[in-house]
Amino acid sequence: FEHEWQIRVMVLNDMEKLDRTLFRLEQGFELQFRLGPTLQGKHVHVHTNYPTEGERFERYKFRVLGWINPTGREDDSDKFCTLDLKISGSYQYYFGHGSEKSGGGYIVVNPVLRVGEDNHVLPLDCISIQTYLSKCLGPLDEWLDRLRVTKEAGYNMIHFTPLQTLGESRSCYSLADQLELNPDFSPPGQTYTWTEVGSLVEKMKNEWNMLCITDVVYNHTAANSKWIKKHPECGYNLVNSPHLKPAWVLDRALWHVTSAIADGKYKDRGLPALIQNHEHLHAIRGVLWQDVFPKIKLWEFFQVKVEPMVEQFRTLLQSAKSDRSKTEGKQQLKIIQDPQFRRFGNTVDMNSALETFVPHGPGAIEDCCNWLRRRLEELNGEQYHEIKHHQEQATNCIADTVSYERLADHGPKLGPVTRKHPLVTRYFTFPFEEATLEQDLELMNQPEKSCHFLAHNGWVMGDDPLRNFAEPGSNVYIRRELICWGDSVKLRYGNGPEDCPYLWAHMQKYTEITAKHCVGVRLDNCHSTPLHVAEFMLDAARTLRPDLYVVAELFTGSEELDNVFVTRLGISSLIREAMSAGDSHEEGRLVYRYGGEPVGAFLQPSLRPLVPSIAHAMFLDVTHDNECPIQIRSVYDSLPSSAIVSMACCATGSTRGYDELVPHQISVVSEERFYSKWNPQAKPSSPAEVTLQSGIIAGKLALNRLHQELASKGFNQVFVDQVDEDIVAVTRHCPSTHRSVVAVCRTAFKNPKHHRYTDEVPPMCIPGKIEEVVLEVRTVERQADSYKKDERSINGMPGYTVEIKEHIQLKDSKVVRQAGVTSRGRNEYVQEIVFEQLTPGSVIAFRVSLDPKSQELVGVLRHHLIQFNPLYKAGSLPDPNTPDILKSPLTQIMSKMTLADMNILMFRCDAEEKEDGGGCYNIPSWKPLKYGGLQGLLSVMADIRPQNDLGHPFCDNLRQGDWMIDYVSNRLISRGGTLSEVGQWFQAMFAYLKHIPRYLIPCYFDAILVGAYTTALDVTFKQMSSFVQNGSSFVKLLALGSVQMCAVGHFPALPPLSPALSDVPYRFNEITKQKEQCCVSMAAGLPHFSAGIFRCWGRDTFIALRGLMLVTGRHMEARNIILTFAGTMRHGLIPNLLGEGVGARFNCRDAVWWWLQCIQDYCTMVPNGTDILQCPVTRMYPTDDSKPLTAGTVDQLLCEVIHEAMERHMQGIEFRERNAGPQIDNNMRDEGFNIVAKVNPDTGFVYGGNQFNCGTWMDKMGESERARNKGIPATPRDGSAVEIVGLCKSTLRWLVALHKLGLFPYNSVTIHKDGKQLSMSYEEWDRKIQQNFEKMFYVSNDPNEKHPELVHKRGIYKDSYGASSPWCDYQLRPNFPIAMVVAPELFTVEHAWEALNISEEKLLGPLGMKTLDPDDMVYCGVYDNSLENDNYNLARGFNYHQGPEWLWPIGYFLRAKIYFAKKLGKDTYDETVYLVKNVLSLHYVHMERSSWKGLPELTNENGQYCPFSCETQAWSLAAVLEVLHDL
Active site residues: 524, 527, 625
Residue 1154: which of 909, 855, 796, 1519 has the closest Cα? 1519
765: which strand partners?
832
Give SS3 for 1208: helix
Q: Which long-range contacts (CB under 8 A, 24 or more apart) does 1230-1235 make?
A: 1232/1261, 1232/1271, 1232/1273, 1233/1147, 1235/1131, 1235/1133, 1235/1146, 1235/1147
Give the list of residues 6+ apart from residue 747 with CB closer than 8 angstroms, or none: 584, 587, 637, 640, 641, 644, 726, 727, 728, 840
> Half-sphere exposure of residue 258, counting CA atoms within 13 Å on the CB side?
19
DSSP 8-state symbol, 26: -
Q: Which amino acid is at 1413?
A: D
Cα-Cα-Cα-Cα dihedral sign, residues 1285, 1286, 1287, 1291: positive
Give SS3 for 25: strand
- Kind and range of the H or E element at 356? helix 350-356
DSSP string, 688-718: TEE-TTSTTHHHHHHHHHHHHHHHHTT--EE
Question: How many Cβ atoms from other residues are within 10 Å of residue 699's Cβ?
Answer: 28
The rounded distance, in Å, linking the Cα atoms of 540 and 526 is: 17
Q: Using only C-alpha atoms, what is the Rg of the chain?
A: 43
What values do phi and psi take at 522, rounded to 5?
-105, 125
Is the N-terminal amide bond of 1188 cis, ω within 30° of 0? no
The rounded distance, in Å, linking the Cα atoms of 1509 and 1448 is: 13
- What are the C-alpha distances in Å from 874 to residues 600, 739, 869? 16, 13, 11
Instruction: Yes or no: say if 225 and 177 are a contact pair by the CB < 8 Å rule.
Output: yes
- Kind and range of the H or E element at 733? strand 727-733
The rounded distance, in Å, linking the Cα atoms of 1372 and 1358 is: 7
Give the list of residues 6+ apart from residue 1512 with CB closer than 8 angstroms, or none: 1041, 1044, 1045, 1085, 1086, 1490, 1492, 1493, 1494, 1495, 1496
CA angle at 186 for the pair 184 and 190, rounded to the nearest 5°: 150
Residue 995: which of 954, 952, 962, 950 has the closest Cα? 962
Q: Where would I find the H helices in 444-556? A: 447-450, 501-517, 531-544
Give SS3 for 405: helix
The rounded distance, in Å, linking the Cα atoms of 780 and 773 is: 20
The rounded distance, in Å, linking the Cα atoms of 11 and 92 is: 15
Listed in order, strand segments (DSSP E) in 116-248 are 120-122, 128-132, 157-160, 164-166, 175-181, 211-216, 220-222
Q: Strands 211-216 and 520-523: what pairing?
A: parallel
Instruction: Yes or no: say if 737 and 875 are a contact pair by the CB < 8 Å rule.
Output: yes
Give the list of residues 6+ apart from residue 1315 with CB closer than 8 angstroms, or none: none
Q: Which long-range contacts (CB under 8 A, 24 or more apart) does 388-396 make?
A: 388/299, 390/298, 390/475, 390/478, 390/479, 391/288, 391/289, 391/293, 391/298, 393/479, 393/480, 393/481, 394/250, 394/288, 394/478, 394/479, 394/480, 395/285, 395/288, 395/289
DSSP string, 657-680: TTTTT-SS---TTT--SEEPEE-T
